[in-house]
């Protein structure tokens, strides 16, 4: 449950949007937390990450009006609470710079190394997705990217969870619709992922925050009612804690005992599942006993069962059979002396750390000779993540992949434990059948399954597996494969996915024929000429859009229902319209080129000193957006009625030119006589970034005066951090002279960097 301190922090976190001292206070809080658990005193790279992120986000603000840097710092503090390593902390500080500022991933790699860059890239959302994709597809593609990055480094998702937790804490500044969307996504995806990774410290708070925004009335009612009974509840829990403490001491067991109320979302879920009101939910309380060894856990359990009457069927041994997220503990529900039910959890200190921090608890900090901190590779062995990656490969449809993820995460909460004939433990969703078990062993076992034995007896394939069952799958090489009826019996996402994959592969030829027929019928019904659309160039666009390897796979997908025929035809029509528009543009450009050539002399060298390849002398002008000078790599752009404009090849306007306009680009180069030898001067523009100081501009002007270069325009901006940006326009002979000038300018005290305008 969110305690009063956290609740107060959530409500007041962004009270002072104009308080520019707060980032420094938060940064100091972060450093203090790191020093509490990290053996190294060297925080220089974290300091550098903070400075880089602060400068990159300097002009940005959050919805609250507060400086944006507050968010990355709060994310880093959450990671420090999990006692993560320095690389993860740095990634938390930098996690938004690639997505929201001018910094690139290459910049992050150069400054902080490939390890930090991988983490930053993993949590950076994809921004170049097709405009025609809906929200669900965009969400799915971003999740695909995140899970792929997780396979390389599990810390990616830990940074993402910290990012999501702080966003949820400050969700009050978003619109109601945005609040619901974010809360629903958190409930469906991120809280279950935190649960999968065993990070209850984050999972519990995410759950309660989703309840706050998805069901505000319920949240408010629970909060008020639990507050009203606070004193009685605390008295009840304290009595139990005192009694348990006394009996532990008498038994000679060294133990730490504390009590708590279950968190809001847990209570709400119990009310919904059991169809009860809050007054009818009795086991709202849990007492935790933490001991030194596993032997002490079972000894403490014996003492507890002697003290209180256990409720039959409510004992769970997660020490002998841990949950898939590595959680271990003994759970037992008891009746207090006053008839009030309550739960006791018994675990070791190491188990408690794993329960709170999950996979994050497995980061061990070992100082090596180089000072680099090595992280454990526990996460790379997680079977769940391997399963996710298999689904990514098997599923070509984004929505199907997202559905698989959500179903698997939601099924995770209730698990049954059963055994193979050799004694290996398999954990399956509650309600699973022998079919689920077979596919959990191997897809080949599931595909060849003809029957099953449970505890030595033959059972039907719809038998519901119980905790402790010993399951044996009967297979046959003569099996014709799974039945479609099995899809209605299985509970696990893995089994459902494997069965669907079998039908897709086995019936591919039939599905290809069916897909062709469905597309033909669709086109006839809509009056569409499919022959005009059915061309390799348009097929390629459909395959790229929906991630298919060949056209037959597209047809097969339509045949088995994975892809709608309308989606295929709409994409092909869209590409046809683009081509028709491009053909019209191409014709206009050719006409313009022909007109230019017919009106000009035969010489190809223009008076400007530019040679435009392929056409005669034309009007040439230099673009102001990038100001090319002799020595720069250049390209021409055929304008409408104004000749050819010359740009640098690295000009932003050229790089971002729409596809249908790129036909207007034409090769151009400098005449070999151009440059310093010709005496011609060309206008160019540079930006100087410097620490502001008295005399800075005098020193810069002196360099220009010594070289007899006239400054034609000047603009200076200074921010509150004392950084100056000086934009200067001047005339120069060529790139070589410009290089000499900038080299001299860089030697001036306080100059940080110099760059040319690129568009």
Active site residues: 99-100
Report the C-alpha gap between 181 and 174 in whole angstroms. Answer: 10
Q: Which residues, in sequence order, are CB contacts of 385 under 8 Å at separation 6+?
A: 147, 150, 151, 154, 379
One-letter-per-residue 3-state SS of 582-625: HHHHHHHHHHHHHHHHHCCCCCCECCCCEEECCCCCCCEEECCC
Both tokens of 97, joined, read: 């710079």
Torsion of CA 25, 31, 34, 38, to 10 degrees: -160
CA distance linking residue 381 with residue 286, whole number of Å? 32
Nearest to residue 101, comparing CAs of 120, 74, 75, 76?
120
Cβ pair 683, 731 in contact under 8 A: yes
Residue whose token pair is 């949820």: 168
Tokens at residue 531, please? 């022959």
* Closest-CA residue to 664 (of 681, 692, 687, 645): 645
Structure tokens that stand for 409 in this block: 């995460």
Q: Pairing mode, if any, of strands 620-622 and 644-648?
A: parallel
Cα dihedral angle (680, 685, 686, 692), rounded to 10 degrees?
A: 120
Beta bridge partners of 605: 611
Cβ(210)–Cβ(191) below 8 Å: yes
State the Cα–Cα distance between residues 262 and 174, nearest whole angstrom: 29
Strands 665-670 and 634-638: antiparallel
For the chain, report the end-to-end CA distance as a whole number of angstroms: 53
């Amino acid at each position: 449950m969110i305690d009063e301190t956290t609740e107060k922090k959530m409500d007041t976190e962004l009270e002072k949007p104009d308080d520019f001292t707060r980032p420094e206070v938060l940064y100091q809080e972060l450093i203090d937390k790191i020093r509490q658990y990290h053996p190294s005193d060297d925080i220089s790279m974290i300091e550098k990450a903070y400075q880089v992120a602060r400068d990159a986000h300097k002009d940005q603000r959050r919805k609250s009006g507060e400086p944006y840097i507050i968010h990355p710092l709060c994310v880093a503090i959450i990671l420090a609470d999990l006692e993560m390593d320095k690389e993860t902390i740095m990634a938390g500080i930098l996690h938004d710079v690639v997505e929201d500022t001018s910094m690139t991933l290459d910049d992050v790699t150069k400054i902080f190394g490939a390890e930090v860059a991988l983490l930053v890239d993993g949590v950076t959302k994809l921004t170049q997705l097709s405009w025609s994709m809906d929200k669900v597809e965009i969400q799915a593609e971003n999740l695909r990217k995140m899970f792929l990055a997780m396979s390389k480094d599990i810390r990616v998702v830990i940074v993402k969870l910290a990012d999501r937790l702080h966003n949820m804490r400050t969700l009050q500044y978003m619109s109601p619709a945005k609040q619901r969307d974010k809360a629903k996504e958190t409930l469906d995806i991120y809280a279950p992922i935190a649960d999968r990774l065993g990070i209850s410290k984050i999972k519990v708070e995410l759950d309660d925050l989703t309840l706050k925004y998805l069901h505000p009335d319920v949240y408010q009612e629970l909060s008020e009612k639990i507050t009203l009974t606070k004193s009685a509840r605390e008295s009840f829990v304290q009595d139990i804690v005192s009694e348990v403490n006394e009996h532990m001491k008498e038994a000679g067991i060294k133990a730490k005992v504390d009590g708590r109320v279950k968190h809001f979302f847990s209570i709400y879920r119990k009310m919904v599942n059991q169809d009860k009101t809050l007054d009818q939910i009795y086991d709202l309380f849990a007492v935790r006993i933490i001991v030194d060894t596993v032997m002490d856990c079972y000894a403490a359990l014996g003492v507890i069962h002697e003290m209180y009457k256990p409720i039959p069927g409510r004992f769970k041994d997660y020490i002998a059979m841990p949950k898939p997220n590595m959680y271990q503990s003994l759970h037992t529900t008891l009746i207090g002396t006053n008839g009030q039910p309550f739960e006791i959890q018994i675990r070791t200190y190491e188990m408690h750390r794993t329960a709170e921090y999950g996979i994050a608890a497995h980061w061990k900090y070992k100082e090596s000779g180089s000072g680099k901190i090595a992280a454990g590779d526990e996460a790379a062995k997680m079977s769940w993540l391997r399963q996710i990656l298999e689904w990514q490969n098997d599923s070509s449809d984004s929505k199907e992949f997202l559905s698989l993820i959500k179903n698997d995460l939601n099924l995770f909460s209730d698990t049954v434990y059963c055994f193979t004939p050799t004694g290996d433990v398999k954990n399956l969703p509650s309600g699973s059948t022998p079919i689920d078990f077979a596919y959990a062993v191997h897809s080949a076992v599931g595909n060849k399954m003809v029957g099953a034995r449970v505890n030595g007896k033959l059972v039907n394939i719809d038998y519901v597996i119980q905790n402790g069952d010993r399951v044996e799958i009967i297979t046959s090489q003569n099996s014709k494969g799974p039945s479609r009826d099995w899809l209605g019996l299985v509970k696990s996402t893995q089994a459902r996915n494997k069965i669907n994959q079998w039908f897709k592969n086995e019936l591919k030829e039939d599905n290809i024929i069916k897909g062709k027929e469905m597309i033909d019928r669709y086109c006839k019904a809509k009056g569409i000429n499919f022959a005009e659309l059915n061309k390799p160039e348009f097929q390629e666009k459909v395959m790229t859009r929906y991630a298919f390897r060949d056209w037959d796979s597209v047809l097969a997908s339509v045949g088995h229902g994975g892809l709608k025929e309308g989606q295929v035809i709409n994409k092909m029509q869209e590409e046809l319209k683009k081509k028709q528009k491009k053909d019209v543009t191409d014709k206009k450009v050719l006409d313009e080129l022909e007109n230019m050539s017919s009106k000009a002399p035969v010489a190809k060298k223009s008076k400007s000193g530019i040679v435009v390849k392929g056409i005669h002398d034309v009007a040439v002008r230099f673009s102001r957006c990038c100001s090319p000078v002799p020595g720069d790599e250049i390209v021409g752009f055929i304008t409408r009625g104004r000749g050819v404009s010359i740009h640098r090849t690295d000009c932003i306007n050229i790089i971002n030119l729409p596809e249908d306009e790129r036909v207007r680009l034409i090769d151009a180069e400098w005449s070999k006589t151009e440059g310093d030898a010709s005496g011609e001067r060309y206008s160019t523009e540079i930006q100087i970034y410097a620490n502001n100081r008295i005399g800075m501009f005098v020193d810069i002007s002196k360099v220009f005066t010594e070289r007899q270069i006239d400054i034609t325009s000047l603009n200076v901006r200074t921010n509150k951090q004392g950084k100056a940006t000086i934009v200067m326009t001047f005339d120069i002979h060529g790139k070589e002279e410009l290089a000499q000038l900038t080299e001299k300018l860089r030697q001036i005290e306080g100059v940080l960097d110099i760059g040319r305008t690129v568009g």
